């Protein structure tokens, strides 16, 4: 198996380069001084081009063919070859100069976005975003031509292998048809009840951080292989065995940062739970961003906004902040964490209205890649969409199209994976609880061991051994769909029977 062995050595090298880029990317978002952005852009571009050159070496095409003909390959090796072939096809389609130009442009645009978002100044971002969009169109066109896909599908495939608009559109159409009436019904039900009591602040950042660290340990984060930091936009990044997650704090609120920490910890558990023997091979990587988002949303939304977990969390918060009275009781905390109210900011949205944010961004980014929406018209289109979907009048671009880093970072094709992940999270959590009825009661004790063990076995340890729907069928008995998610919302927010 000489050809296969040569390929595994090549991809191990690529994995190390990817880890280096991951740490530099984390530093860019957390600690790098603004004046270093151009130099950092060059550093990232050099690493991107180097990785691209290694991957697209013409000899790799020959090695792939030879390895695919070799005898004696096991299930994991064959799956690894499949993922090697996918990675090679994506990389070989894009010229090296386009890779370098895109890396420089996104690094520069991300830095400008920080200032533009702070000042609500879309005009400052516009030329940089136009450059990023043009380059992403070229990438999508190049990959699409090589893979036989439309440009947007080619970009989407880079984040969620095998996913296509033809698969997404019917699911999103179902959500678009059902969710408006569901939001109305939930809000009417909550309006008929006494409103939850707000937790009285302030909430010092140092205490919020300590609680976050405690919750990370409870969920199962391994601090010998990761850390928690602060960034403008929460994320999970870093490198193999060095998982970096971030959150952002607000001393006026005790809820946002903690749920942000739990969300990113779900991502981190996936990264820390990947099979050690395959971590520097394509088959050892996470199985696309829809499944990755399912892990963060399963921890945050399915588990940590449950009544059971609030039973554990309420005394923890009360003790840490010195709280007294009914506002700090578990029932009130659960009502706070499940309050449904349309808002401007996607990352702060409740799980009932959250899909509307994704439906909007999905429509806008597909239009931008297709050339049907100019960057100059993005603020107006975004504001019109928020009005139509959530009935909100966006006051400024900071609360509108400038709130997310994804487009400045070139991540066109990423947004739909958030809601696809929410659907998968509902399926997986339902299956886990059916397999282990003690999962929910254990959450009331802050015990995630049964849930974590089931996820390790059925998701994390499988990495990219299977395609997404194949993994979901193995774990839950059916492919990705909206039924379990909608049933979960009706059960939690309308008291519908399971």
**Is-catalytic flag, 75?**
no
**Rounded distance, CA 285 to CA 452, Å?**
18
The DSSP letter of residue 301 is I
The separation between CA 52 and the C-alpha centre of its own chain, rounded to angstroms, equals 24
φ, ψ of residue 484 to 5 degrees: the values are: -65, -35
Residue 398: C-alpha distances to residues 308, 347, 394, 395, 432 (Å): 36, 13, 9, 8, 39
The DSSP letter of residue 195 is P
- Side-chain half-sphere exposure of 142, counting CA atoms within 13 A: 18
Rounded to a whole number of angstroms, the distance between the first and last alpha carbons of the chain is 52
Backbone CA torsion sign across 343, 348, 350, 356: positive
Q: Radius of gyration over alpha carbons of the chain, in Å?
A: 22
C-beta separation of 412 from 152 below 8 A: yes
Which one of the listed residues 83, 131, 150, 264 is annotated catalytic? 264
Name 405's bridge partners. Answer: none
Among candidate residues 493, 170, 192, the one with its CA nearest the CA of residue 352: 493
Which residues contact residue 262 at a Cβ distance below 8 angstroms, ignoring those fewer than 6 apart?
Answer: 215, 216, 219, 299, 300, 304
Three-class SS of residue 19?
helix
Q: Write the burial class of residue 194 (CB in 10 Å: 0-12 exposed, 13-18 middle, 19+ buried).
A: exposed
**Rounded distance, CA 12 to CA 65, Å?**
19
**Rounded distance, CA 490 to CA 496, Å?**
5
Among candidate residues 104, 7, 89, 19, the one with its CA nearest the CA of residue 56: 89
Backbone CA torsion sign across 139, 144, 149, 151: positive
Catalytically annotated residues: 264
């Amino acid at each position: 198996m000489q050809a296969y062995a040569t390929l595994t050595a090549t991809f191990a090298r690529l994995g190390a380069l990817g880890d280096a880029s991951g740490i530099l990317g984390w530093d860019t978002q957390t600690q790098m001084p603004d004046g270093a952005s151009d130099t950092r852009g060059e550093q990232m571009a050099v690493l991107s081009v180097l990785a691209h050159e290694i991957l697209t070496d013409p000899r790799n095409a020959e090695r792939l063919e030879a390895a695919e003909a070799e005898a004696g390959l096991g299930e994991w090796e064959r799956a690894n070859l499949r993922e090697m072939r996918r990675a090679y096809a994506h990389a070989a389609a894009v010229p090296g100069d386009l890779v370098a130009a895109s890396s420089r442009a996104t690094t520069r645009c991300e830095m400008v976005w920080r200032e533009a978002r702070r000042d609500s100044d879309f005009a400052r971002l516009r030329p940089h975003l136009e450059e990023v969009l043009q380059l992403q169109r070229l990438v999508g066109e190049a990959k699409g031509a090589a893979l036989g896909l439309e440009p947007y599908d080619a970009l989407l495939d880079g984040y969620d292998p095998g996913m296509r608009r033809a698969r997404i559109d019917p699911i999103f159409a179902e959500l678009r048809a059902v969710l408006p009436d569901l939001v109305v019904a939930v809000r009417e039900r909550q309006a008929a009840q006494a409103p939850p009591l707000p937790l009285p602040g302030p909430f010092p950042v140092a205490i919020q951080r300590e609680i976050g660290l405690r919750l990370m340990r409870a969920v199962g984060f391994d601090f010998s292989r990761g850390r928690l930091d602060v960034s403008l936009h929460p994320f999970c990044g870093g490198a193999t065995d060095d998982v970096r997650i971030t959150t952002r704090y607000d001393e006026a609120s005790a809820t946002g940062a903690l749920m942000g920490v739990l969300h990113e910890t779900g991502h981190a558990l996936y990264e820390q739970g990947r099979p050690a023997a395959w971590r520097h091979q394509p088959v050892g990587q996470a199985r696309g961003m829809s499944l990755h988002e399912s892990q963060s949303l399963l921890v945050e939304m399915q588990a940590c906004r449950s009544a059971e977990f609030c039973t554990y969390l309420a005394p923890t918060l009360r003790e840490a902040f010195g709280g007294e009275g009914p506002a700090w009781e578990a029932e009130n905390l659960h009502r706070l964490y499940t309050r449904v109210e349309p808002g401007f900011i996607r990352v702060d949205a409740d799980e009932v209205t959250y899909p509307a944010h994704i439906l909007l961004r999905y429509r806008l980014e597909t239009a931008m890649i297709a050339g049907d929406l100019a960057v100059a018209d993005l603020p107006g289109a975004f504001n019109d969409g928020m009005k139509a979907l959530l009935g909100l009048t966006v006051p400024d671009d900071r609360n509108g199209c400038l709130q997310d880093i994804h487009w400045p970072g070139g991540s066109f094709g990423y947004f739909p994976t958030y809601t696809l992940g929410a659907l998968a999270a509902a399926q997986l959590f339902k299956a886990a609880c059916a397999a282990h009825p003690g999962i929910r009661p254990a959450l009331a004790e802050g015990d995630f061991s049964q849930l974590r063990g089931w996820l390790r076995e059925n998701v994390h340890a499988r990495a990219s051994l299977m395609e997404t729907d194949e993994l979901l069928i193995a774990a839950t008995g059916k492919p990705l769909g909206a039924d379990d998610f909608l049933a979960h919302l009706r059960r939690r927010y309308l008291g519908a029977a399971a």
